[in-house]
Chains A and B, each alone.
Chain A
Amino acid sequence: MKSLVAVLLAVLLAPCARAEVEASLDLRLVDSNGRNSFLDGGLGKLRFDTDDDGVQLGRARLAWRGSPGGNWHANVDVSAWSLDDHNAIDVTEAWLEWRPVPTSPWRSNLKIGAFYPPISLEHRASGWTNPYTISSSALNTWVGEELRTIGVAYELEHRGIADGGQWDFGAQAAVFGWNDPAGVILAFRGFSLNDRQTPLFGRIGTYAYGYREQRVLFSEIDNRPGYHVGAYAKHDSGLELRALHYDNRADPTVFKPGISDYAWRTRFNSLGARYDGPAGLAIIAQWLKGTTDATPDPTNHWGFETAFVLVAREFFGKHRLALRYDDFKVNPDPVSYWKSEKGHALTLGWTWKLREHVELAGEWLQLNSDVGNREELDEPEKARERSLQLALRLTL
């Protein structure tokens, strides 16, 4: 995988008249009453806990986009979230795409590299950024933390709307590797609402009895490729529907000493609907349900399910308000050592486009959770965590 990324970087960094660079900086002012964050080994569900109040780095991002020729496009996205990370600066996505110009309503494209599976209906801004709220939904936070398609995806679309019809349709199939640990965070920590993305060579902090521990997420453990298949439909009224089935086909009996982890067999189905209406109205609903298994012990089995609804609207052309309700649960096998969790959250987001290249964003978030594993930390199982964040976003 590293060599693939190196090739992509070389393609883009070579003198290329069409290369474009995007750079952005997100600085935060944080006020949180969150429990000890999962990033510090706790079972707090927020990125910033009560020790993180004050000024923080939200994200620094640099992206290259270019066309090496013909109908090929390349993209490399590099970000930094915290100097405490395993790699302070790391790659989140790197891909080459073959996207021929359509000569009829039919269009196809082929993507090779590391990229997000087409699940999120929230992350519509460049760099897989959520333009509505600072923290993403529980569902899409998990996608950003644990999922990446490192492989090949082919998509076939029929774009009927551009041809005078009412519907666009598309279907995608992907084969991937290096996503065998997916599921470990849900099992040990559960769901979270935050804006982090795990970079390709990076790690993510997780619950470790109060100690700081970082997990490798993108590694091939059993040499069995996984797949996902999905479809979408868009109506000319502004309605968009998505469905995806994901299975990393991991063999949970295989252990990789190098990263001290088993392969996690993770499978799920996800559905999403989005409506874009007048005055910048957006209504988004997504649902995801699946299971994960690890180790030869069949009782190390977890089921998980999460859903959210988000409503957003623009005001005065420069302001946007968004309100989201999240619900989530993780249920381990009843005879296993692990305990269940459930929770819900309410998020109010505000974005103000001050002028070109400068944006302010605010967010109030309240997350109520009941996490059985908090017993291990001698903490109350129930927690009501709140955070208030103000972000200054500068883009090049």
Chain B
Amino acid sequence: MRLLFHAASLLFASTALAAPLELRVVGVDGKGIAGTVVVLRSTDPARSIARPVEAQIDQVDRQFVPHVLIVPTGSKISFPNSDSVSHQVYSFSPTKRFDLPLYRGTQHPPVREFERAGVVTLGCNIHDNMRAYVFVVDAQYFGRTDANGAWKVPDVQPGTYTVQVWHPKSREARPVIEQQLRIPAAEPQLVLRLATELRLRAESQVPANWDAY
């Protein structure tokens, strides 16, 4: 009976204590940084991570859409090609090496499973300006910061987390922030400040739809 009571109180705690979280990522100048990828992973190994999803990366006007995608480990991504020209998608990132034979069309898009956590850079062997990033995460919460550098989660359970902040255009191949973070119970608003200036890659600005080759 006592054990049952204890289990009931734990269940109550895990649902009732989850609270909204607003996390802002700011640079050394205090300004919010848009488009960063934020990943929260509980330090408690017993907690389950986000379940795999089925996602999609299309190819439109010789660009990958979306340009950045975050999925939990084990997710499947399909790659339709809405362009009138064929593409040959590949990745040589250690996280996921693969290539799709030259193809076009959206009827039966090729699908690949992303088993391991890490960053996967996608390219097209025909159109070198095409690039996209898949962040594969084994974590409870993840998302991207908005134009003000803010990322909101409706229901984060309090506890200790490892927070990772990535920027797809960072010149560093590592997270720009990686630290442990205690998230208190009451609707917390947290600010993560970068210790050093973020150096971003400009990437090609060539408008792919104009300068098709």
Chain A interface residues (CB < 8 Å from chain B): 18, 20, 65, 67, 73, 99, 101-105, 124-126, 131, 159, 161-164, 166, 236-238, 276-282, 314, 320, 351, 353
Contacts and interface: CB of A to CB of B under 8 A. Distances in A.
A278 B97 contact: no
B202 A164 contact: no
B202 A101 contact: no
B207 A103 contact: no
A125 B90 contact: no
Interface of B: 84-86, 88, 90, 92, 97, 99, 102-104, 121, 123, 125-126, 128, 131, 171-173, 201-207, 210-213
B125 A102 contact: yes
Contacts of B123: 102, 162
A166 B172 CA distance: 10
B207 A126 contact: no
Contacts, number: 79
Nearest to A123: B213
A236 B99 contact: no
Nearest to B205: A276
B171 to A, nearest CB: 6
A248 B67 CA distance: 44
B205 A99 contact: no
A101 B88 contact: yes
Contact of B92 (A124, A125, A126, A163): A163
Contacts of B92: 102-105, 162-163
A281 B206 contact: no
B202 A238 contact: yes
Nearest to B103: A18
Given A103-B97, A105-B92, A166-B171, A278 B213 contact: no
Nearest to A161: B201
Contacts of B206: 124, 276, 282
Given A124-B213, A236-B202, A353-B210, A162 B171 contact: no
Contact of B204 (A99, A102, A103, A238): A238
A278 B97 CA distance: 31
Contact of A238 (B90, B99, B205): B205
16 contacts: A18-B103, A101-B125, A102-B125, A104-B92, A124-B211, A125-B213, A126-B213, A131-B210, A162-B131, A166-B201, A236-B171, A237-B202, A238-B203, A238-B204, A277-B202, A279-B205
